[in-house]
Amino acid sequence: MPCPYTAQRGGAGSQEGSPPFVFLRYNLDWICTRTLSCLVQVHPNVLTDFRRLLREAVENNRDAWSASRRLVMPPARPETIRRLRSAVSGSSLDPSLREELLRLLPPDENAGLKAIAGEDIRKLTGLNPTKAIRNLCLLLGVSAEADKSQALVSVMAQEEIEAAVKGKENPFDLLQTADVASVMDFGAGDLTFAEEVVERYLGSLERAGTDLTLHCLDRLDPEAPFSPLVQAGRERLDRLRRHPSPHLKFRFFGNHDMFDSESCRGGFPRYTIAACYGPASPTFAYEPSRVSAHAIQARLRETKGEFRRVKVKGREVLEVLYKGERLTFPPWKFDIYGPLALLDLLSRTGKLCVLGAVDMEVFWEIISQLLPDEGARPRDVFFTGENVQKFFGPAYERLAQLAVGEQTILTETRRQIPRVLGVERERGETHGFRYIEVRRGAVFPGVPAGRTARVFDQMTREAAPWFMTLVPAV
């Protein structure tokens, strides 16, 4: 940047022969600011950590990285620089970094990226100005604020979804024909299912020039030491986050309750497929609107053992005393939501819903909410292999006769299933499914599956699980 003193000599308003201090007097602020800023030193350790944070901001959110291109498009640049300066000023970055970044980001936002000293920003971030701005935006939460009504949601009609999956062996093949290939995996666990989706579909979608959006959510924090499965999940998580394909848009929501929609900002308003492998028991094994809380608590103590919430090393856990052994689980392990909440969530989230590796107890409770006869939902009754025939009638006969690998379609289903989430519950709204297919078994050829499904054959005391394909009515 040229010194204003030099620029003003002989310019408008100058007087030839005037002493230099006349010009310097008017530019004293510029000289002091420029001189001091040149003396700012960023400690090497601070700089190393800063560059690492910039890299991780991209690696952990590739969707936002792609969207950040809009932030550096010419029409958006002035507003982006303004928002970024504000974010830097209010950030918790090291003071020397804040000062240096504010020096490099032009206070005149309209000057655009050309006003950023490319060599200086590269020394600070290791990136060219455009990438530096995008990385900084991700790090400091300056989002592209994409319009979610744009082409992130499939425009396929529900009858088209039904036609695409009806009678097909693999409902996930919809990803190859849908206008938007997107999946939300609820209860992602160790990410086995997610990795299998990528292995099966990403290659063909890449060749077609189509993106695969894969979002995964799990209540466990990958850093929590509750299970060795989490460690395997970390390895897969790292592979998925660092996948080299620009066509994979992967995002993981860890330590998130699937029913807390506000905690999943950045997700799509609706995915082509919403999946849940191994829906948790007892979370979805008892319907609170059908069975009283008192009865559920008594049932849990009868079948799971005595339990209580305690703190272990400052961390709250659920302690269960089972056959003389003390076991610890996450504190929410015995929280009961019931199948109505699960069906409500899936129908809102996916144009196609898939439930895999559903154990017998959860399965019968789900079926009870899908059948049209109110007699299928008796008050304060726990379903067992001995009594379900009494309540489910012909539907039970069809389902009980299925061998592993066989399927049936539920032709008579409940059309007005109550919404139990959000304001829709307060308004008494309902929903339904236009197509429900039930298949017996855990794993099927070519169908991506979660770890729970993969290990079912080792659970010799467990009956074969169920696989359900549901197409919401709307």
Taking the chain (474 residues) in consecutive chunks of 10 residues, what is each chunk's mean pLDDT? Answer: 35 36 34 36 88 89 82 79 82 85 72 67 88 90 58 84 95 96 94 96 95 92 56 77 93 86 66 96 96 96 92 86 86 93 96 97 97 96 92 94 96 95 91 98 95 83 92 96
pLDDT given for residue 300 in this prediction: 94
Beta strand pairing call for 433-440 and 466-472:
antiparallel
44, 52, 129, 287, 406 from 96: Cα distances, Å = 11, 17, 19, 56, 66
Domain range annotation of the chain = 40-140, 158-280+346-472, 293-329
SS3 418: strand
What's the helix, strand, coil split of the chain in %, to 5?
45, 15, 40
SS (H, E, C) 199-240: HHHHHHHHHCCCCEEEEEEECCCCCCCCCHHHHHHHHHHHHH
Tell me the sheet residues that pair with 218.
254
**Cβ(164)–Cβ(415) below 8 Å:** no
Would you list the DSSP string of 245-263?
-TTEEEEEEES--TT-GGG
- 220 Cα distance to chain centroid: 13
pTM, entire model: 0.69
pLDDT given for residue 19 in this prediction: 39
DSSP classification of residue 472:
E
pLDDT given for residue 111 in this prediction: 55
C-alpha–C-alpha distance, residues 434 and 409, integer Å: 11
The torsion angles phi and psi of 255, rounded to 5 degrees, stand at: 60, 40
The torsion angles phi and psi of 192, rounded to 5 degrees, stand at: -60, -50
Q: What is the CA radius of gyration of the chain?
A: 29
Given phi > 0 = left and psi -120 to 50 = alpha, else beta, which region is 235? alpha
For residues 269-278, b (16+ Cβ closer than 10 Å) or e, as one string? ebbbbbbbbb
C-alpha–C-alpha distance, residues 347 and 419, integer Å: 10
**In which residue are the tokens 């000599």 written?**
9
